[in-house]
A = this chain, B = another copy of it.
Amino acid sequence: MYLEAGLLTRRSVRQFEKGHKIAENDMKDILKIAMYAPSACNKQPWEFVVIEDEAMKNKIAEIHPYAQFVKDASAAIVVCGNEQEQCDNGFWIVDTSAAIENLLLALHGKGMGGCWCAIYPYAERMKAFQNLLGLPEHVKPNALIVAGYPIKQPTQPQDRFREDKIHYERW
């Protein structure tokens, strides 16, 4: 798949082939690509928690209100920012968001798919994931990425080009 086509055809996937495990080398490729995102001062302040255990996936479904489908997915990847490794206060959310987009594109490129389920900016949800995963206080969960093999290939997204979102020279 070509880069531009990949960027235009990536979609959120929420229905997965149950029991289809992501091969270890594929998972490493996907996480590697996430790590090739840009970051402020090239600090790469991300951390990834990969969850494949059934009991853990069920617990995630309990603490995230919009991620019931994680139970049938191959993996849950919680992408976190390490506040002690960021360039300056506030960059972890920016840097990890770019890494998540890379991760979703990497899944798409391998014929898999994923859904970005927000943890940030909800303080209560962040705390629940910190507790479940045993994250230190300085490691903040940005999002839960539910990943796996789509039951069917998603259709093309509707045209999202919006001329009115482009401003020339100034507002």
Contact = CB atoms under 8 A, between A and B. Distances in A.
Given A49-B167, A133-B171, A166-B48, A118 B102 contact: no
Interface residues of A, number: 71
A61 interface: no
A154 interface: no
Copies in the complex: 2
Contacts of A33: 4, 7-8
Interface of A: 1-8, 10, 12, 28-29, 31-33, 35-38, 40, 44, 46-53, 56, 88-91, 93-95, 97-98, 100-102, 104-106, 108-110, 116, 118, 120-121, 132-136, 139, 142-143, 157, 160-162, 165-171
